[in-house]
Amino acid sequence: MKIHEYQAKELFRAGGIPVPPGSVATTPAQARQIAESIGKTVVVKAQVHVGGRGKAGGVKLARTPDEAESIANDILGMDIKGLTVKKVLVTEAVEIASEAYVGVVVDRAIKRPVLIVSAAGGVEIEEVARKSPEKIIKLELDPLLPIHPFHARRVAYSVYDDPDVAKQAAKIIQQLVNVFWKNDCSLIEINPLVVTPDNVVTAVDAKINFDDNAAFRHPEWEEMRDTDAEDPAEMEAKENDLSFVKLDGNIGCVVNGAGLAMATMDLVKRCGAEPANFLDIGGSSNPEKVIAAMRIIMRDSNVKAILFNIFGGITRCDDVANGIVQAVQQLKPDLPIVVRLTGTNEQEARDILRDVGLATAPGMEEVVNEAIKLANKAA
């Protein structure tokens, strides 16, 4: 789950990380009021769940409350990478002498979070990692041990020469790691971590993603959820208890079981195409889930064929077949559908599908190739 910069900054404040004062506004008039109460030059910042807002024109300095109001008026409603801006953060402007990057991300290969620090902040950290990896400092974090002050100091001193600045940065780094653990984050970033001309270190930007697997112990997340900003397909999937991840290909996949879903995606790739999604309808064979799955996949205009791959164990193939029939009747998809099902009640399922003119393929390879062939024909 993603949260906005203004929310991440609240968590930073609670964790003792210095952040310039500010609040969020949904109207230009509110933005003016906040600018008035700050009484200095402010920055008006688009609150959308995407990076690179600065480059997209979503981060602007305003010297007066008047200016803050008119800039907020420009930014509210703006489209940034397909997302509409509905809120702006109005925050005290900071003078910048240098910009660094500090973040904690999960490294899947080593199965641990890694602290990443780079003196080359502000710009896209992915670019720095690609072009000059030597500018990036990494420290693996141990889930069973806290980050010690000497760890944080070592990292901070490798970025900053001035001891006073390094000390402030070390404290911020330590607190950032603490905020990461305390809030079950999957990612936390300060980019840029700014040093001002008078050597004050402060977090000018803040990004936090929560690890959804920990939602059960964070009732406070519900209030922070911005349903406006979430992907409608992923929300609908969540409401229907489906595991869904959107991808960029054109083969829509409906599968029961995460393992089979992964295997299906692998096979789509091996046969030379790209899956449009990961989707696990789970162990039940509730027709409602099949209908929801198909509706979610049909939202994606990239999808050129829908592939069902069902293994009937506890799931009964005939129930899924009935779900497919209902989904086709209700949603009238304009897309080719191919189905492979095997296991419990597969013969009944084939009969049900044959009656409505849907063919089933016997094996995975056949059905995947069929889906790809039909998708290519439709494209």
Interaction between residue 78 and ligand GDP (CB under 6 A): no
- The question of whether 6 is a catalytic residue gets the answer no
Distance CA(9)–CA(22), nearest Å, equals 9
For residues 251 and 371, the answer to whether their CB atoms sit within 8 Å is yes
3-state DSSP call for residue 74? helix
Nearer to Mn ion, 205 or 318 (CB): 205
Is residue 67 near ligand GDP by the rule CB under 6 A? no
| Of the residues 62, 204, 320, 349, which one makes contact with ligand GDP according to CB under 6 A | 204
Length of the chain, in residues: 379
Residues in contact with ligand GDP, total (CB under 6 A)? 16
From the candidates 67, 69, 189, 346, which is the catalytic residue? 189
> Tokens in use for 332?
């009238």
Selected catalytic residue, list 101, 160, 346, 370: 101
Q: Which does 204 bind (CB under 5 to 8 A by kind): ligand GDP, Mn ion, none?
A: ligand GDP
Among 2, 32, 53, 151, binds ligand GDP (CB under 6 A): 53
Contact between 204 and 46 (Cβ < 8 Å): no
Closest to ligand GDP by CB, 20 vs 275, is: 20
* Contact string 170-199 vs ligand GDP (x = CB under 6 A): ---------------------xx-------
DSSP per position, 354-369: HHTT--B-SSHHHHHH
Nearest residue by C-beta to ligand GDP?
Answer: 54
Alpha-carbon distance of 197 to 56, in angstroms, equals: 27
Is 189 annotated as catalytic?
yes
Query: Strand pairing of 185-195 and 207-210?
Result: antiparallel
Counting contacts by CB under 6 A, is residue 57 touching ligand GDP? no
What residues make contact with Mn ion under the rule CB under 5 A?
191, 205
Considering the complex, what minimum distance in angstroms separates the CB of residue 295 from Mn ion? Answer: 36
Task: Indicate the pairing of strand 305-312 with strand 337-343.
Answer: parallel
Contact 5, 203 (CB under 8 A): no
Dist. CA 320–CA 167, nearest whole Å: 61
Q: Which residues are catalytic?
A: 101, 189
Residues binding ligand GDP (CB under 6 A): 43, 45, 51-54, 59, 93-94, 96, 99, 122, 191-192, 204-205
